[in-house]
Structure 1
Amino acid sequence: MRLADKTAIVTGGASGFGAGIVRKFAAEGARVMIADINAEGAAGFAAEIGSPAVAQSVDVSDKASVTAMIDTAIETFGHVDIMVNNAGVTHMPAPLEDITDEDFDRVFQVNMKSVYLTARALVPHMKARGAGTFLNIASTAGVSPRPRLNWYNASKGWMITATRTMAVELAPDGIRVNALNPVAGETPLLKSFMGEDTPETRAKFLSTIPLGRFSQPEDLGNAACFLCSDEASMLTGVCMEVDGGRCI
């Protein structure tokens, strides 16, 4: 029960890495808000998890929606200890000059502006309490970029820098900010990263990962639990690779 009496919000929590984080947090004693643009998926997952979980519909790119999510979490839980910015999107692999304005704007809004919006809405609450933890789910793409995912890579590099600068600024207020950098995993975004999901493309991708497998939702859940627990009370500004050695 490493997160006993803790409360958390996990965006994009209804599937993929977010669902792995939700499962681990609930198993370790936290009360968790499963926040997702897929309201039906969030509600079904919350029903599966049971009493530790509540569902919340959110569009992380929209200020009013994010503010409503934070307000509902504080009203429901009394306070928020942990904010996991997990929701993310990518564009399909393509030359950087061929990515449309619409795809670029969507990546910017969901991967980058969402962190700004949750910070604006939640930092005052955490400052008032003198405690809190942000965890941003970035990517190995922000550390070791791959061709044809240019603007996605850039958005995750931004998230890594945002994590570090938030950590420096908020440390005097008792707020820790860390990030995880997963390699591509068994999530709904896998096909988008690879362009197509075939045995050949999987084998080619896996050949770049020394441990020889994709990141799993449980891998992210385990790492997230540690960084958000009191065991990591001296860690802030850490951007931890969960990548099977991909970035070595």
Structure 2
Amino acid sequence: MFLKKITLLREEIQSTNRYPFSIPAIRTLDEINLQSNVTFFVGENGSGKSTLLEAIADKCEFHTAGGGRNNLYDVYAADSVLGSYIRLSWLPKVTNGFFLRAESFYHFATHIDEVDESGFKDYGGKSLHEQSHGESFLSLFLHRFKGKAIYLLDEPEAALSPTRQLTFLRIIHDLASHGNAQFIIATHSPILLGYPYADILSFDGEKIEKIDYEMTEHYQITSYFMQHRERFLEELLKEEE
């Protein structure tokens, strides 16, 4: 592990009524102690998990629309609001890594097309635009993710089939289990959340709390749906009287 603690600089905040400090999980944040090489952020849309992940990327000096320290390109509204209000504690500090933002990956791929002079060796040997969405994500994970680094991933499952999510779990394990990489991942995937050596931090309550896999809404709803599909759908889709 490299990143040990995330601290909110409360003395710098002028008002908790303004975004993003109005988000309950952010408003009540003091500090997060990271204890695993793989940490998942979970929560409903708008719960603050992606906002905090983006702020971490900003403090790491990664491009907040996606990329590492050396990826410089213009994307509208790519700045982090929260980044100036957190402090990261490292031991040791690393500068290598990557921020994946699924929703703006197209812009990153276009940037790589414009600047790559190595035959896309870090991306499977061809342009990310010449690969399917899922293939381009796996090419990134397989070829660019290496060495001592921190990887911040916002919904990486967006382009991955269930089978490829399992492949991605193996990639995470190979990198993290040797102590060469740290992952912080915001996700809705019950498959990725099942990684047995991870900590899961929930953003759904009034404050950020560590929870067990079986207590996540992602596991509970998926499990119930699989076991009671017909009853679940009958209740969900029945017409109102």
The interval holding the TM-score normalised by the smaller chain is: 0.3 to 0.5
Instruction: Using CA pairs under 8 Å that are at least 6 residues apart, name the structure with larger relative contact order, 1 or 2.
Output: 2
For the pair shown, the structure with the greater C-alpha radius of gyration is 2
Q: TM-score, normalised by structure 1?
A: 0.35
Q: Which of the two has greater helix per residue?
A: 1
